[in-house]
Amino acid sequence: MILVTRSSMPEFQEYCDEIKKLWDSHWLTNMGVEHQELQKKLEEYLNCPHVVLYTNGHLALENIIAAMQFPEGSEVITTPFTFVSTTHAISRNSLVPVFCDINPDDYTIDVDKIEALITEKTVAIVPVHVYGNMCDVERIDQIAKSHKLKVIYDAAHAFAVKYKGVSSANFGDASMFSFHATKVFNTIEGGAVCFQDDRLEDTINDMKNFGIRGQERVVFIGGNAKMSEFQAAMGICNLRHLNREIGKRKCVVERYRNNLGHVSGIKLCKPQKDVEPNYAYFPVVFDGFRASRDKVFDALGEQGIAARKYFYPITNSVEAYSELPSAGGEKTPVAAYLADRVLTLPLYADLALEDVDRICEIILSCRR
């Protein structure tokens, strides 16, 4: 069985060495030494002044949206071509998602369509960096400033990506990363919020730790979203090997491109100008191919290869959002078109190139 992804992990002994101190201290959570060390290392790696760690990326996104204190019922422009967590984080803050279509080149939010969706109720834009592809951060910044909107990036796919030498952590008012086991960098489960504004730090920390400041002070009605020491320890280990792991992923992507890049009916994302990628995912769009996406998906599955229809369905077509004014795939035709045709192929650091060749051979055999 070849899964669509497989978690990067350090050597067993390396992780054991890292967590040994936990047996000495018995300090397993509540921002202990591992948590503090990982936070510091990530601030250095991302060149970002504020990195707040979370138990998962969804709560990180939900909390940073809440920290902006938008009025209930306000509108937030976002993309339907994403994991449903993005839309849930907006809705669970009693805000209204307004779905903007995507562009057909890199599958990120179509910046030419954002302004037409802005109303007097609009307070923010939540764009999504997709598959490691960066949004048009410069245009989004211009639009947001001209309309006095906040920008919060769902950067779950974009850890270690840089645009013009600047980390993806440093765009907009804030960025959220997911450190889920399936991501380029993982802490088993986990996530983080990154931001520049010093005034947000206390609020974000209050939200993730019950609003507790000291043993006898509770200043905010917060929840519990703290990263454990074991998660942080995995992150510390994985960060040591991240550049090497990304290098391995690059080799896999290059092999896919060599095999599929000139095949009629198969569309691949072009490398983005001025972007240093992380090779997080390898999406293939079957557009004019002799076999449908679903036929290819089934053929791979029959051979024990678990590709993924990612993202399908788009979030404005799921039942939970059917009542929204901007719901329905017909409102975002590019996203709907791609969702019916995209397949993300297996991609992880230790995927053998021979397996990449076999995957490609199965895909090409579907033409017969």
Please give the chain's pLDDT, 368 residues, in tens: 999 999 999 999 999 999 999 999 999 999 999 999 999 999 999 999 999 999 999 999 999 999 999 999 999 999 999 999 999 999 999 999 999 999 999 999 999 999 999 999 999 999 999 999 999 999 999 999 999 999 999 999 999 999 999 999 999 999 999 999 999 999 999 999 999 999 999 999 999 999 999 889 999 999 999 999 999 999 999 999 999 999 999 999 999 999 999 999 999 999 999 999 999 999 999 999 999 999 999 999 999 999 999 999 999 999 999 999 989 999 999 999 999 999 999 999 999 999 999 999 999 999 97
**pLDDT of amino acid 257:** 98
In the chain, the N- to C-terminal Cα span, in Å, equals 24
**pLDDT of amino acid 309:** 98
Q: How far is Cα 210 from Cα 226, in angstroms, rounded to an integer?
A: 10
Bond from prior residue into 159 cis (ω within 30 degrees of 0): no
Yes or no: say if 262 and 40 are a contact pair by the CB < 8 Å rule.
no
Which CATH number applies to 12-240: 3.30.559.10, 3.40.640.10, 3.40.50.2000, 3.40.50.720? Answer: 3.40.640.10
If we measure between CA atoms, which residue out of 259, 346, 137 comes closest to residue 268?
A: 259
Q: Which fold has domain 242-365?
A: Aspartate Aminotransferase, domain 1 (3.90.1150)
Instruction: Tell me if 12-240 shares its fold with 242-365.
Output: no
If we measure between CA atoms, which residue out of 349, 162, 159 comes closest to residue 244?
A: 349
If we measure between CA atoms, which residue out of 160, 174, 164, 142 comes closest to residue 65?
A: 174
For the chain, give me the number of helices (H) and strands (E)? 11, 13
Residue 266 CA: distances (Å) to CA of 130, 154, 187, 271, 296: 19, 28, 34, 16, 12
Strand order in the sheet with 166-167: 166-167, 162-163, 275-276
Tokens of 263: 């095949």
DSSP string, 171-216: SSSEEEEE--TTSSS--SS-EEEEES-TTHHHHHHHHHBTTB-STT
Q: How far is Cα 3 from Cα 43, in angstroms, rounded to an integer?
A: 32
Residues in the chain: 368
**pLDDT of amino acid 368:** 79
Q: How far is Cα 80 from Cα 338, in angstroms, rounded to an integer?
A: 11
**pLDDT of amino acid 214:** 87
Bond from prior residue into 313 cis (ω within 30 degrees of 0): yes
Q: What is the pTM of this model?
A: 0.97
**pLDDT of amino acid 287:** 96
Query: Which amino acid belongs to residue 120?
Result: E
Q: How far is Cα 265 from Cα 348, in angstroms, rounded to an integer?
A: 25
Q: How far is Cα 314 from Cα 169, in angstroms, rounded to an integer?
A: 25
Yes or no: say if 348 and 8 are a contact pair by the CB < 8 Å rule.
yes
The pairing of strands 150-154 and 122-126 is parallel
Q: How far is Cα 280 from Cα 71, in angstroms, rounded to an integer?
A: 35
* HSE-up (13 A, CA, CB side) for residue 171: 29
Structural domain spans, the chain: 12-240, 242-365
